[in-house]
Structure formats: C-alpha cells, structure tokens
Amino acid sequence: MASNITQQGSLTLNDFIFIQGANPTRADEYLVTFTAFNQPVQISLISANNTTYDPIVQIIDARTNTIVASDDDSGNGNNSLIANFLPQGGVVYKIRVTSFNTINTEIEHPYTLQVNSVVGDVVLEERLSSFGNPQTGQVVTFQGVLDSRDYTFPSPSTAAPSLADEYKLAVTAFNQPIQVSLTSSNTGVYDPFLQIVNARTGAVVAFDDDSGDGLNSLIANFLPQGGVDYRIRVSSFNTITLPQTNPATYTLQVSAQVGQAAVTPRVPGIIPPPNTSPLTLTGDTAQIAYVVYYGRPADNSGLTFWDTTLTSAGISYSPRQGDGLTGSEAGAYNQIVNDFGNSSEADNLFGQLNNRDKVNKVYNFAFNRNAEQEGLNYWAERLDSGAITLANFALEIGLGAQGDDIIALRNKLTSADLFTNSLDLPEERAAYSGESAALFGRNWLSDFGTTVSTQAWVDAAISSLVS
C-alpha cells in the first residue's frame, strides 16, 4: 500500500473497444481501493503525445457501473485531472483510462496514471485482460457470464450502465453467411444484446437484440469481408449491477455455412469450471458451520478456536465420500454441533420458527433457495421426532451438497474465508462482534452463491462496518 501510486500503461489495438462520444477508441481498467473515506484524492492521466491521444480518466462505481467522476482536459495541455475526488465508504471503484480521440492504428499510446491520496493509502490493481486460445470449427460454442471480471460498458441501446465481453472472430471463407446467436436461460434479469464490431475502426457492422427466441439475440446472415478483423461484443440491453443474485449467464454460438469460424475469447469472459468436489469437515474448514448454520462469515477468534479443536481431534469427515465418525472425531463433531445449536445466536435466528421454516432458513443460508418439497418434508419430520438436531441437520446438508448446491456453497465459503481473513486489524475485529455485526455479515454473504466475492468487495464491506 502507498498514498501515492504511479502506473505506466499503454492503449493499443488489442485493448477493449470502447465508445467515447462518437469516437471508437480503447480502454484499460483498474480496480482501486482506498483506506480513508471522504478525504481528497487526486487522479491524473498524462500522455506524452496528448495531441494525438487525448486522455480521458473516469471513476466508476463498480457495483452500479455508473460513472461518478470524469475528466478530459483539466490537466496540462490535453491531459486529464480529477483534482478533488472524495471516495465513499462501502463503495468499490474502478478507474477507466480511455481517449477522446479515435484509436485505430498499430501505434501504441503510452500513458501515466497517478493516484495521490491526502489521507490513507491506495491500492491500484490492473485488470489484465488478454485474448485466450481460439476455438475453431463449423460450429463454435462458448458458455460465458457477465460479472465483476468484465468491462463496464453502457448498454448499446439504452446507455444504461452494464457490462460487456469481447471475442475475436475470424473465418476461412469470406462473403459466405455465418450465424451468430446469443441466448440466456436467465432473460428475466438479463436481456442479451449482440454486436459484431470492426476491430480496427470500432464501428458496429451488425447488431441484434430480440430476433432470437424470447429476448435472445440472433444475427442470422452476416457476410464477413476479407481483410477485416472482427470482434463479437456480448452485452445487455438492461442495467447490470453487482453482485448478482441471478447471474447474467449466456451461450454464444457461431455457425459457418461454408468453411470454418475461429472464435477467441477475452479471458475474463469465460466461466471458470465450477468446483463440485465434496466438502470435508477438517481442522481447516470450520467456516462451513458458520455459513450453513449462522449464514455469515466466521469471526477470527471463533474460527481459530474451532479449527484448533477439529485439528486436535484429527477429524476428516465427508459423508458424500462415505466417511463415518468414531472416537475423538465423533467427540469433536458433537461438540461443534452442540455449541452452535445451543448458542444465543442460534436462539435469535431460529427460536421463534417452526421446523419447516427452520429447514428453509438453513437452505437459504447454504444455497440461496428454499428446500425442495421432498427434502423439506424429510428433514422437518426428523426434527419433529427428535431424530436429529437443527445444527446437526445444517452441517449434514452442507457436507452432503451436490450439483448447483455445492457450487453455491463453495462460492459462499470462498467469500466467507476472504472476509474472515481480511479482519486483520484490531478495530476491524472489534467491529465484527455482536448481533448487528452478525446481521451485517449475513446480509453481505447472501449476495454470493452464483458469484464469488473479490478482495475489493470485502475491503469495502469491512470499511463500511468499521465506519
């Protein structure tokens, strides 16, 4: 960390295509974190050749994707200067570096980005984005998602704040029809918008919103020309805000009638393969109990205590893998179940609920959904009969999770671990204590399941908690 950050960069043809006014240009993005709020920050963007590359610097609220500060020429010459920005607590910011002028040649446009904080420190993280490996075939299909890894981009139709992915497009046969479709199973919250862009000029040469089924997009008869590089832009007609309760997932498919198509993704746009491996209760995973039963990230002291207790017992328990519990392992398991189940926090959460409502509450903590009817009946009957305790039930459904449930729970656990491990200052640990802090943690963690928190989301949340 430092109070003054200097970053050297360059805008090139390989960067994300951005439209600034009427001018197609390029853009870089940086994630920026502040440790002091409502204190002046100065952000400058300087280019040695600012007559041909007219710098523009913008500050974006990364949750809403809205521009909260922007400058073109307040610096020397055509350079940019935001002289007195006051960051707010609980907000994650991105800095966009772009140009007022069109960038469409092979010439690199170097710049210097400086962030100076009068009070506190600044962390600047470059959002590296390169193109990955191409997929080639007569029909090429990609699964993607618009999320926090992607570029902030105004909706092409409404100018509403949104997000975008890019793909390079090449073909082996020119002036022959190709079909490009963009579909989503989640069009209730995400209205797909599809464009084909001239990669050099930035001009949109084909686009579609709703020609596919429902709100899906379809460009049915595009004729690529020889000597032109193309990019496919995947974006949204409507606003996308973060974090997303329902993900903006999509399927992009390119079909060539003659020859083959080669489609190359920009790396952040590809969904990482989900981790569906079974969970195991060990001396490193007591966080599971906090997430499934309390619905929140663990506090440092509690997590340390239970990790130590489970480590001492040598427990390694995964019911999905057929594990049983004996001896010291059974003792440690019963201890965590009994202590969690008899806590005042458990009484506050579940004390006034019937067993069916208790089951649904645990399911929502773990998976962001109610129990299916069969599971609801089964677990409620076992609780009614006294065959199982609520804490025992919560731990068992977490450790036994499969399919979409294990993906959601693992995303929650990763986010919770990041939150707990970031409580590294005495004032942060003190702030995350008591009923109001527990409610804060539950509300924060409920946003994750389809997505995973970033460090910046965590830092913003903890700053809001402390302030």
- The overall average pLDDT reported for the chain is 88
Task: Please give the average per-residue pLDDT across 114-132, as a whole number.
Answer: 82
| 96-100, 151-155, 383-387, 399-403: segment of lowest average pLDDT | 151-155
The 10s digit of each residue's pLDDT in 200-243 is: 888 899 999 988 777 899 999 999 999 999 999 999 888 877 76
CB burial string 135-157: b at 16+ within 10 A, e below? beeeebebebbbbbbbbbbbbbe
Q: What is the pLDDT of residue 75?
A: 75
Q: What is the pLDDT of residue 268?
A: 57
Helix%, strand%, coil% for the chain, nearest 5: 30, 30, 40
Tokens read off for 166: 């890019």
CATH code for the structural domain at 3-127: 2.60.120.380
d(CA 249, CA 234): 11
CATH fold label, 135-265: Jelly Rolls (2.60.120)
Q: Are 440 and 299 in contact (CB under 8 A)?
A: no
- Indicate if the pLDDT at residue 191 is higher than 90: no
Q: What is the pLDDT of residue 155?
A: 73
Confidence of residue 335 (pLDDT cuts 50, 70, 90): very high
Helix (H, G, I), strand (E, B) or coil at 317: strand
DSSP state of 292: I
The 10s digit of each residue's pLDDT in 57-82 is: 999 988 788 899 999 988 777 889 99
| 76-90, 146-160, 189-203, 280-294: segment of lowest average pLDDT | 146-160
**Which has the closest alpha carbon to 209: 182, 227, 174, 178?**
182
The 10s digit of each residue's pLDDT in 139-160 is: 999 998 888 778 888 876 666 7
More confident residue, 181 or 3: 181
Q: What is the pLDDT of residue 273?
A: 60
Task: Please give the average per-residue pLDDT across 441-448, as a whole number.
Answer: 91
Tokens read off for 435: 């009923």
Confidence of residue 24 (pLDDT cuts 50, 70, 90): confident
**Which has the closest alpha carbon to 59: 34, 25, 26, 82?**
82
Confidence of residue 357 (pLDDT cuts 50, 70, 90): very high
CB burial string 402-434: b at 16+ within 10 A, e below? eeebbbbbbbbbebbbbbbebbeeeeeeebbee
CATH 2.60.120.380 in the chain, residue ranges: 3-127, 135-265
Q: What is the pLDDT of residue 53?
A: 78
Confidence of residue 22 (pLDDT cuts 50, 70, 90): low
Q: What is the pTM of this model?
A: 0.65
More confident residue, 400 or 88: 400
d(CA 139, CA 459): 43
Percent of the chain with pLDDT over 90: 55
Q: Are 436 and 288 in contact (CB under 8 A)?
A: no
Q: What is the pLDDT of residue 271?
A: 47
Calculate the alpha carbon distances from 397 to 279, 291, 303, 419, 446 in Å: 10, 12, 20, 23, 18
- Indicate if the pLDDT at residue 2 is higher than 70: no
- Indicate if the pLDDT at residue 50 is higher than 70: no
Q: What angle do CA 250, 251, 256 make, to 5 degrees?
A: 150
Confidence of residue 269 (pLDDT cuts 50, 70, 90): very low
Tokens read off for 24: 């197609």
